[in-house]
């Protein structure tokens, strides 16, 4: 299959999917979202692939999250329209969770908002030492479509979600958000070595172990909890808030840069 917004390559049993919008910090446009889902499905169906690696081009961002420029001029959505959007977002993040093969996120730079949700749905996360992470949705007065962070970090997820604070690679490792931190220059080689070592395990063994691990989380209620989070997100986004309306007005009348500057000003005294 030919892709426009990502690079797809298979070598030595490992499929690498590279988000390829570096000038936009690999922001998740709807076209890119569709291509990622298609590429994951392609890797899952390929008998020569045993491990899937997701990464971002450019060395500055895995991804900054959903592309908010796409929604700048859209009219307000109804609750039903927000529900439909949340369901699509969940299908997207579940694409790596439901992939029968191990999916690894190789993170170099920013990993924010919806991109962080995608990375957290992968089986493991590895990052460079200059990477940073944030559930930035809170600072945009938005809900979180895939509320998976509590399943990885437990109680420690509350402060990150409530504040939208950025954390660096060392803190992400300390909290258990990432499995290993590499010097930037060693990231690709390090993750490639792990992926190829993993790919030496029998495919059937990888697949059944992933099924068993996923089943453990799902038996504890992961899918139900994420469904509730998506509904809360849809309601939150449709009801709105004074902050969300101010941001939308500024973005519409003065541009995204002005809206982002206003948002930054709200937090600056307390950073």
pLDDT, residue 70, reads: 73
Boundaries of every domain in the chain: 6-240
Between CA 149 and CA 48, with CA 177 as vertex, the angle to 5 degrees is 95
Q: How far is CA 86 from the centre of its chain?
A: 14
CA distance 123 to 251: 36
The rounded radius of gyration (Å) of the Cα atoms in the chain is: 18
Pair 72, 123: CB distance under 8 Å = no
Neighbours of 148 (CB within 10 A): 25
Strands 110-112 and 132-134: parallel
pLDDT in tens, 120-133: 999 999 999 999 99
- Distance in angstroms (rounded) separating the CA atoms of residues 32 and 21: 9
pLDDT at position 76:
77
Torsion of CA 200, 205, 206, 207, to 10 degrees: 140
CB 26 within 8 Å of CB 109: no
pLDDT at 143: 86
Q: Are 153 and 132 spatial neighbours (Cβ–Cβ below 8 Å)?
A: no
pLDDT score recorded for residue 72: 63
Query: What strand order describes the sheet that includes 51-56?
Result: 6-11, 14-19, 51-56, 103-107, 124-128, 180-182
Please, what's the b/e burial string for 5-44 (b: 16 or more CB within 10 A of its CB; e: otherwise)?
bbebeeeebbbbbbbbbeebbbbbbeebbebbbbbbebbb
Average pLDDT of adjacent 10-residue blocks, the chain of 271 residues: 95 98 95 98 98 97 90 76 90 98 98 97 98 93 92 96 96 98 98 98 98 98 95 88 86 85 89 86
d(CA 254, CA 92): 32
Alpha-carbon dihedral sign for residues 101, 102, 108, 111: positive
Give the relative orientation of helices 30-45 and 79-98 as an angle to the nearest 10 degrees.
Answer: 30
- Is the distance from CB of 55 to CB of 17 less than 8 angstroms? yes
Which residue bears the tokens 């039903």? 80
CA nearest 111: which of 140, 133, 89, 126?
A: 133
* Class of 6-240 in CATH: alpha beta
What's the whole-model pTM score?
0.94
> What sign does the CA torsion over 213, 219, 222, 223 have?
positive
In this predicted structure, what is the pLDDT of residue 32? 97
């Amino acid at each position: 299959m030919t892709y426009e917004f990502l690079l797809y390559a298979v070598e030595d049993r490992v499929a690498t999917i590279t988000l390829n919008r570096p000038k936009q910090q690999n922001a998740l446009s709807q076209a890119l979202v569709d291509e990622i889902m298609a590429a994951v499905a392609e890797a899952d169906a390929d008998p020569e692939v045993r491990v899937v690696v997701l990464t971002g081009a450019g060395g500055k961002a895995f991804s900054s999250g959903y592309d908010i420029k796409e929604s700048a001029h859209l009219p307000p959505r109804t609750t039903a329209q927000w529900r439909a959007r949340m369901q699509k977002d969940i299908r997207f993040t579940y694409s790596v969770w439901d992939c029968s093969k191990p999916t690894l996120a190789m993170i170099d730079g920013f990993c924010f908002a919806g991109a962080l949700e995608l990375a957290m749905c992968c089986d493991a996360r590895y990052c460079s030492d200059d990477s940073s992470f944030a559930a930035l949705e809170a600072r945009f007065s938005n809900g979180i479509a895939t509320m998976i962070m509590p399943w990885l970090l437990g109680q420690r997820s509350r402060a990150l979600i409530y504040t939208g604070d950025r954390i660096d690679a060392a803190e992400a490792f300390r909290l258990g958000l990432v499995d290993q931190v590499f010097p930037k220059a060693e990231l690709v080689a390090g993750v490639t070595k792990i992926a190829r070592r993993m790919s030496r395990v029998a495919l059937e063994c990888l697949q059944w172990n992933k099924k068993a691990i996923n089943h453990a989380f799902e038996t504890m209620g992961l899918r139900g909890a994420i469904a509730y989070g998506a509904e809360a997100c849809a309601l939150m986004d449709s009801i709105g808030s004074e902050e969300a309306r101010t941001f939308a007005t500024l973005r519409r009348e003065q541009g995204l840069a002005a809206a982002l500057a206003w948002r930054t000003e709200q937090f600056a005294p307390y950073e």
